[in-house]
Homo-oligomer: A and B are copies of this chain.
Amino acid sequence: MLPPLFAWIRGYNRADLSADLLAAVIVTIMLIPQSLAYAMLAGLPPETGLYASIVPLLAYACFGSSRVLAIGPVAIVSLMTASAVAPVVEAGLADAPAAALTLAALSGAALIIMGLLRLGFLANFLSRPVISGFITASGLLIAAGQLRHLLGVGGGGDTLPEILASLCARASEIHALTLVMSLAVLGFLWLSRSRLRAWLLCAGLSPALAAACARAAPVLAILGTILAARLLGPGAQGLALTGAIPPGLPVPGLPPFAPALVLALAPAACLISLVGFVESVSVASTLAAKHQQRIEPDQELMGLGAANIAAAFTSGFPVTGGFARSVVNADAGARTQAAGVFAACGLTLATLFLTPLLADLPRATLAATILIAVLSLVDLPALRRVWRYSRGDFAAMLTTILVTLGYGVEPGITTGVALSLFLHLWQTTRPHSAVVGQVPGTEHYRNIERHQVSTCPGVLSLRVDESLWFANARFLEDRVAALTAGRPGLRHVVLMCPAVNRIDSSALASLEEINRRLRAASIRFHLSEVKGPVMDRLKRTAFVDQLSGEVFLSHHEAICQLCPPSLAADQPRLTEGAA
């Protein structure tokens, strides 16, 4: 697997350049407030958000496979970072920015190892109900966590009960000016998100200009509130401000690797890698499909891993492919990863020249930006849709939401994954099977409980509809025992295996046991419609030799031989099955 190092450079032309440059300008404007806001969400100094959006973008451009994915801090990974870093800081192992660097390095290493070992399939074990429940719950947690900034009170908390209790306890401390400014910014952002574009179009602006202005709204909110804070004078009447941001670019440096720190952060790093990977891949494949491109999941792991390593060495924190920024990038016409490189340049300029301006930025403005962004993640109606379709999936989703809200992000996602796996395994412990009979006049055999079919009294035909493995093998033994008990006239049992793709050692032992027991009761045991690869494997064992009956290619062949029409003279060959 060669890294697609700047694969997009080949054939790069003037048209690509101008498209990418335009997209980069739009993305840069959007990323400045977002980067600051997500750094605050992760509990880190605001400049780390800008740093995390520069070099990781370049690293992904070298190793990633998507052409339009925009890498940087995203809401859920920032929340997970905050929740992973907090206990480490509390235990005195490191300060928050240092712990975030180690976390990014570990997460990058986990992604690269998964990529090298082609373990991308592990992400498949995060089922959609679990992911969707986790995203909804994280959105609610993030929104609740921003309330204190919007109200100008202190407090904290990692879970919904903690956050709400902390807010209630400080309800008397609400800072009126902060609240007024928060409501103004929230109203402005909400209107610009839902209405501004239509108004500007009505006002006669070109669609492209209208869209660009609507997207620039957060920047306007930032500029407006900075201006307001400056007008309020030094101290800004108690408004919480971002404070001085060190000017200049991040100094590259090694993240701390104390063993205790690494051990404490490793589980969270693995979860962050998985969640970040799933989020990034689903964004990337949606966008790729729209543009008739394809992405390579294992290559994506390498790209994301490189981006996180880059973040770890340049004072950032864990990053991944973001939905909003990637969509904006694609919509703005980005054609290659050059757009990402240009956006990185834009953010570098911002870091160099705009930071003095940002010292007076009210924190409430950033909180409002986050709140508006994450509320679009909350999808509670999905609960009702999933409930209607599958009770098991609903249980997994609801559990993920409740545990995430009540106990935090890590217990939430691990409980969700464990529960969905358990439910799946539990459902597979009973193999689907059906007693079948012949549809009269055809060679088709169908479930006697659902179709009008004929059966032969001396022959029991049992169709198995799943691969046989250790968890469902014993149920097959029981099923055969129950079906053959109390049928003295029974001479043959035929197991029809059209849907059996695998028979593992445990299931083979069960088949041997069934064969032994039926033989003791003078009943012959046959198989029919065994798939080629399964038969090849069975032939390597003693089972086929010990089998009291035969293996038939088609079930009809089995019935013709075991219940020949000649018998029809002696006994009523075919009896009608249930309708």
Contacts and interface: CB of A to CB of B under 8 A. Distances in A.
Contacts of A424: 469-471, 504
Given A481-B294, A499-B498, A532-B450, A470 B508 contact: no
B421 A389 contact: no
A127 B292 CA distance: 45
Given A392-B504, A420-B470, A466-B467, A426 B127 contact: no
A127 B505 contact: yes
A390 interface: yes
Nearest to A518: B289
Interface of A: 121, 124-129, 285, 289-290, 292, 294, 385-386, 388-390, 392-393, 420-421, 424-427, 429, 432, 450, 465-467, 469-475, 477, 481, 485, 498-499, 501-502, 504-506, 508-509, 513, 516-517, 520-521, 532, 537, 540-541
Nearest to A517: B289
12 contacts: A124-B429, A124-B472, A125-B471, A127-B469, A127-B470, A127-B506, A128-B505, A129-B506, A285-B477, A389-B541, A420-B470, A424-B470
Count the copies: 2
B501 A470 contact: no
Given A127-B470, A128-B470, A424-B469, A121 B429 contact: yes
Given A125-B425, A424-B504, 14 more contacts: A121-B475, A124-B471, A125-B471, A126-B470, A127-B469, A289-B516, A289-B520, A294-B485, A385-B541, A389-B505, A390-B505, A393-B506, A432-B501, A498-B499
Nearest to A478: B297
Contacts of A485: 294
A429 B126 CA distance: 12
Given A125-B425, A469-B424, A504-B127, A537 B294 contact: no
Contacts of A520: 289-290
